Structures are given as structure tokens and as C-alpha cells.
Amino acid sequence: MKPRSTILLVDDDQEITELLSAYLARFEFDVHSASDASSMRAQLARHMINLVVLDVMLPGIDGLTLAREIRAQSRLPVIMLTARVATLDRILGLESGADDYMSKPFEPRELVARIQCVLRRVQGSVALAPSVAASEVVCFDGWELRRDERTVVSPSGLVAALSNAEFRLLNTFLQTPRRLLSRDQLMEQARGRAMDTYERSIDLLVSRLRHKLADDASPVPMIKTVRGAGYVFNVQSVQARPAWRT
């Protein structure tokens, strides 16, 4: 069975979000909603979102600023909605990092078609990427894993060395982004001679790796804990490339 995509609607008009949520659910989307910047960030931290439908006119921080914020932290696809119809407004939306742009009022079925189109494009680009398993460098949401050096490099350029167990655990996460993995599954992949057989050992290992992947600029945790079930590697993009040679 094909997994359902999860959509986040960001609009301060409750009637619109309720109507769109019900409509999108008919096309087998899971839908969450937010009304402003703080609730959007909370939803992104709480759920594994595949695409954001973002209104430009929001209270406090506007949608253009939020689109730039999302794009600075991830490749999460964004479709912008606005009552503005001027060409310059559409250009500003696309320059802010939006993948598509629709003017209000709009036909809900067209929004569904555009969501499906953007998701196909994003998923297709991932499928065409070089094999993560075979590459020397793996890029994920602005970070890099350099396999030959066994280090991670943050978006700001800070380098952190990985222990053998941390390195194996990160490789496991990178092979299965946005998928729930149980403690038993992670322990089987990451176990080394330094690890014992107690469940708590994988929790400590995840905690150490999470600390090395911490980024004060991002409100979204890289490794999400699902209580009683395991962990999810909460990244929007994993891409492989060869190491640059000089």
C-alpha cells in the first residue's frame, strides 16, 4: 500500500482550513493545520510533513518570510496561496522558495492537482539521486556526512567526529529517512562491541548523535522520538554525491 502524504495547511482563516482539510482527506492526504508562525513551527516539530500549503497574509510573520525560513532549513516543498494577483507578488513568492503559487479564490481540485504534481517532482528527484549507500558524502538538510573521515559538517561549517557506533547509527537513519525505526531495529544495525544488549544503550547512543546534530537555528529536531515505538530521522532531503577531488 502506498504511504499517505501529510499536508500542513497554514492559514489564519479557520473556515478555509476546515473546508480544505475535509476536501484533501478525500484524496487520501493526512492534513494538519496552523494559523501563524508559532503554530506552524509546532506542527512541523510534531508531525512528519511532506508539503506545506502556506498563505501569504498571516498575522505576525507573513508567509513570504516563513517560506524563506522553511527553505533555509530544508527542501520541504511549499505551495503559496494569496489573494494578491499581481505578477510581482507571484515572483516574490517563487523567489522566497515556494515550489508553486496559487491565487485566491481557487478551485480545490486544482490545488489537489498541484500538490500531487509537486510531490511527484520531489519524489522523482530523490529517486534519481545517486545511491546513498555507495556515496562518500551524503547531504541532508544542509548537513554533510563525510564517510571517509567519519565526520558530520553542520550548515555553518562546524565539524564533529563520530564514534563507530554513532557512524553506523547515522548511516542507518540516512538509509531510512522519515520512517519509524524501533529500538531493536536500530540496535541491530548500530551494535558494536562497545554496546551492551540493554534497550537503554540505544537511547544513549541516539542522545549522543542528536547532540552532535543539534542546530540552534532550526526549531525542528533532527531525530524525533516516538514514545513507546522508536525514532524517526526527521529530514526532508537526503542526497548523495561523490567527494570532491583536487
Task: List the domain range (segments joined by +) for residue 88.
Answer: 6-127
| Any domain includes 151 | yes
Q: Which DSSP string do the residues of 41-69 spell out, in sequence order?
A: HHHHHHS--SEEEEES--SSS-HHHHHHH
Number of domains in the chain: 2
Which pLDDT value is given to residue 40?
93
For the chain, count helices (H), then strands (E).
8, 12
Q: What pLDDT score does 14 carry?
A: 92
Q: Are residues 27 and 123 in the same domain?
A: yes
Q: What is the pLDDT of residue 69?
A: 85
The answer to whether 140 and 246 have CB atoms below 8 angstroms apart is no
Q: What gap in Å lies between CA 101 and CA 20, rounded to an integer?
A: 16
* Complete edge-to-edge strand list for the sheet that includes strand 151-153: 159-161, 151-153, 143-146, 137-140, 238-241
pTM for the whole structure:
0.55
106 and 144 assigned to the same domain = no
Q: Are 39 and 150 found together in one domain?
A: no
Whether 246 is covered by a domain: the verdict is: no
**Under-70 pLDDT residues of the chain:** 1-3, 84-90, 93, 123-135, 188-200, 216-220, 241-246
Count CA within 13 A, CB hemisphere, residue 12.
12
Q: CATH number of the domain at 237, please.
A: 1.10.10.10
The pLDDT, as a whole number, for residue 124 is 54
Same domain, 84 and 115: yes
pLDDT score, position 234: 85
- Same domain flag for 168 and 67: no
Sequence-distant (≥ 6) Cβ neighbours of residue 123 within 8 angstroms? none
**In which residue are the cell numbers 522553511 written?**
70
Question: Is 61 in the same domain as 89?
Answer: yes
pLDDT for the residue 189 = 65
Q: Are 187 and 209 in a shared domain? A: yes
Please report which helix (H) or strand (E) contains residue 129, including its range: none
What CATH number does the domain containing 60 carry? 3.40.50.2300
- Domain final position from 83, 103, 127: 127
210 found inside a domain: yes
Residues 107 and 143 in one domain: no
